[in-house]
Structure 1
Amino acid sequence: MIELRQTIELPEVLTPVVIYGAGSIVSDAHLPTYGRLGIPVAGIFDPDTAKAAALAERYGTSAFADMDAALSVPGVIHDLAVPPAAIPSILRALPDGATALIQKPMGSDLGAATEILTICRQKGLNAAMNFQLRYAPNALALKDAIAQGLLGDVVDFDAWLALDTPWHLWAFLAGLPRVEILLHSIHYVDFIRDLLGNPSGVHARTMGHPSSSVSNTRTSMMLDYGADVRCNLSINHNHAFGRKFQACEFRVTGTSGAAYMKMGVNLDYPEGEPDALWLNTGDGWEEVPLRGDWFLEAFEGRFAQVQRFAAGLEATLEGSVEDAWHTMALVEAAYESAALPMHPIKESPDA
């Protein structure tokens, strides 16, 4: 098997990080990843100062008494791991020209995404969104395989999810009008955009399930990439009939090869299973050994790229707000499509 890129190399000199937010994404993903990579954490700010202090003590850093103290630390990357509604006010307070990493989604809708983009432009912020699926080891490896021509030209992308997602773990979702695409499948459409670019259109349906209080948990989506590329997503988070026929996988087909990806974290969540990547470049299927999985190793790639940009080793901040706005535009278009009637079927003529 040819060597495929699965990670992004950190710079020798690491830039410290200030974290805004002390929720589960910080405790379960950001801080463990920073610890593994050796990235220094200058401190944590959260309006719940007791919560921030407890988390800071657990991970050997400090908690800021107020946001002004966090903002005053020079030469850092600002990690905004906060709810979407809190993002604009923090961005406005950041020093002009600062580097920031923002937790997805980029606002709750395209209007909010545009507000975030406008603030970043006005202040000259170097801001990236934490759409991290594109940095998972199997995702980086697949992208490298495509870049090396191992699959030929990509002509098919199929995402198939049949899961039993425990929505009860996130009680706040019950009252939200937008859930499945905005908070889950957004990762998949961002990854597809990274591979194939922006589609010219989308046709979508998203809906709930009789057994769930969450507004939408099932989605069908078709992205328009012209006459040669077929791209479909079938997402069902309510397939509650045992692990045997559940799935969380992508099938990517080219003119001279194909790939199969399994995203294991969603299977038997939150326990999860290992990710997988299989390639067939003409001599049968071969599994690619992976160095890790989506989530945590994907965070490594995301954080490493921001570090490389901050160190001046890369001129482009990948997954920037400029790029991520297009992911949000695709999400918005999917919801707009889902709100419209499908093309009607003609009725039979009168006898």
Structure 2
Amino acid sequence: MADLTTLRQTVDMPDTPIPVVIFGAGSIVTDAHLPAYRDLGVPIAGIYDPDLAKARAVAEAWGTTAFATLEDAVDVGGVVYDLAVPPAAIATLLEALPDGATAIIQKPLGSDLAQADAIMRIVKRKGLHAAVNFQLRFAPMSLALKDAIDQGLLGDVVDFDAWLALDTPWHLWAFLADLPRVEILLHSIHYLDFVRDILGNPVGIHAKTMGHPSSTVSNTRTSMMLDYGDAVRCVLSINHNHAFGRKFQACEFRICGTKGAAYMKLGVNLDYPNGEPDELWLNTDGEWRQVSLVGDWFIAAFHGRFAQVQRFAAGLDPQLEGAADDAWHTMALVEAAYESSEQPMHPIKEAPDA
């Protein structure tokens, strides 16, 4: 029987953390970034936001500095730059960074693949070392699953099922009402990135995304099938409008291999924003066993994501995991999903005339 208590769930920090300059003072910064940096012992050199009053309020609450200008924030040397900003602001901020700087970019990598292309041109021209904050791949349950797969405990992965039946309170994010792309670009993109981290790049995708009569958001329900050839089946079913009580709601992955299987519960999305604990179960010998997790996706996954950037910046890791050039492939998969959704599915032949 495999010892599941030894599966990797965390990323070790350097002995001496490198200070961070944060661009943005929104809720993702106060709810996840700043708490994660505090937990890791990473000094915050300062915060910049075009809304100076907002930046000052956040800086005061967290015991750091608010930069009055973008130039002041960029001029701080020897730091990691954290771009916790909307997609439209990414390119401008990357242009302002010193050549060769290390940065972490909030997902997604632009609002579409064209913006991702433009961002990548900037990254390459300036020699930036840029990671993207697709943090699900760094959640304790994700790291443990990948360790189990790497050890061969599941054999060859042959099935990946994502099943979400949720009641997501889209009204909490008023800005979403005007966006043409929501569900895949801003939510299921995490799952597509995680699938890529486990299985690599698919050769194609069939997808359909749509809204719901009860929602003002453009798309809240999605079905996707990723093509990994004849050996691996990968299907995602996402419904954010399952508003019939908690009893039969779900947010879970099932990953099956030739030797074993895994079940993952992503608790943050259940009873949002309260959430529930994540769960990871493994069956490697005919019996299901639960892995005791050291934390949940929010915010432990931010610990792992930020710690790996810190390790790279300190010279402890030779490369950035989930770097911008890898994240581009996640954006390409998202773009392909939307393109697929706009096309009619294969027609069914009509009955012949009598």
User: Normalised by the shorter chain, which TM-score bucket?
Assistant: over 0.9
Match of 2:193 in 1: 190
Which residue identity lines up with residue 81 of structure 2 in the other structure? Answer: H
Three-state SS of the structure 1 residue aligned to 2:348 is coil
Three-state SS of the structure 1 residue aligned to 2:77 is coil
2:41 pairs, out of 26, 38, 42, with 38
Q: Cα distance, 1:13 vs. partner?
A: 1.2
Over residues 149-182 of structure 1, what are the superposed CA-to-partner deviations in whole Å (9 max), with x where a residue is unaligned? Answer: 0000000000000000000000000010000000
Over residues 56-76 of structure 1, what are the superposed CA-to-partner deviations in whole Å (9 max), with x where a residue is unaligned? Answer: 010010100101000000000
Q: Cα distance, 1:81 vs. partner?
A: 0.4
Match of 1:209 in 2: 212
Which residue identity lines up with residue 100 of structure 1 in the other structure? Answer: A
Three-state SS of the structure 1 residue aligned to 2:123 is helix
Q: Equivalent residues in 2 for 1:136-215 (5 A)? A: 136-215=139-218
Say whether residues 1:225 and 2:228 are aligned partners.
yes
Match of 1:279 in 2: 282
Which residue identity lines up with residue 302 of structure 2 in the other structure? Answer: F
Query: Residues of 2 paired with 1:155 and 1:47: CA distance?
Result: 48
Aligned length: 351
2:21 pairs, out of 18, 26, 37, with 18
2:270 pairs, out of 267, 279, 283, with 267
**Structure 1 vs Structure 2 CA RMSD:** 0.5
Match of 1:132 in 2: 135
Which residue identity lines up with residue 240 of structure 2 in the other structure? Answer: H
Say whether residues 1:90 and 2:93 are aligned partners.
yes
Q: Percent identity between the aligned chains?
A: 74
2:118 pairs, out of 111, 115, 131, with 115
Which residue identity lines up with residue 193 of structure 1 in the other structure? Answer: R
Which residue identity lines up with residue 106 of structure 1 in the other structure? Answer: L
Say whether residues 1:347 and 2:353 are aligned partners.
no
Query: Residues of 2 paired with 1:175 and 1:52: CA distance?
Result: 26
Three-state SS of the structure 2 residue aligned to 1:292 is coil
Over residues 128-153 of structure 1, what are the superposed CA-to-partner deviations in whole Å (9 max), with x where a residue is unaligned? Answer: 00000000000000000000000000
Over residues 210-252 of structure 1, what are the superposed CA-to-partner deviations in whole Å (9 max), with x where a residue is unaligned? Answer: 0000000000000000101000000000000000000000000
Say whether residues 1:326 and 2:329 are aligned partners.
yes
Q: Cα distance, 1:282 vs. partner?
A: 1.6
Three-state SS of the structure 1 residue aligned to 2:100 is coil
Which residue identity lines up with residue 310 of structure 1 in the other structure? Answer: A
Which residue identity lines up with residue 216 of structure 1 in the other structure? Answer: N
Query: Residues of 2 paired with 1:36 and 1:277: CA distance?
Result: 23
Match of 1:55 in 2: 58
Match of 1:67 in 2: 70
Which residue identity lines up with residue 33 of structure 1 in the other structure? Answer: A
Say whether residues 1:106 and 2:137 are aligned partners.
no
Which residue identity lines up with residue 284 of structure 2 in the other structure? Answer: T
- TM-score, structure 1 as length reference: 1.00
Which residue identity lines up with residue 327 of structure 1 in the other structure? Answer: T
Q: Which runs of 5+ in 1 are unaligned?
A: none
Query: Residues of 2 paired with 1:342 and 1:297: CA distance?
Result: 40
Three-state SS of the structure 1 residue aligned to 2:130 is strand
Q: Which runs of 5+ in 2 are unaligned?
A: none
Query: Residues of 2 paired with 1:82 and 1:286: CA distance?
Result: 40
Q: Cα distance, 1:283 vs. partner?
A: 3.3
Query: Residues of 2 paired with 1:262 and 1:69: CA distance?
Result: 43
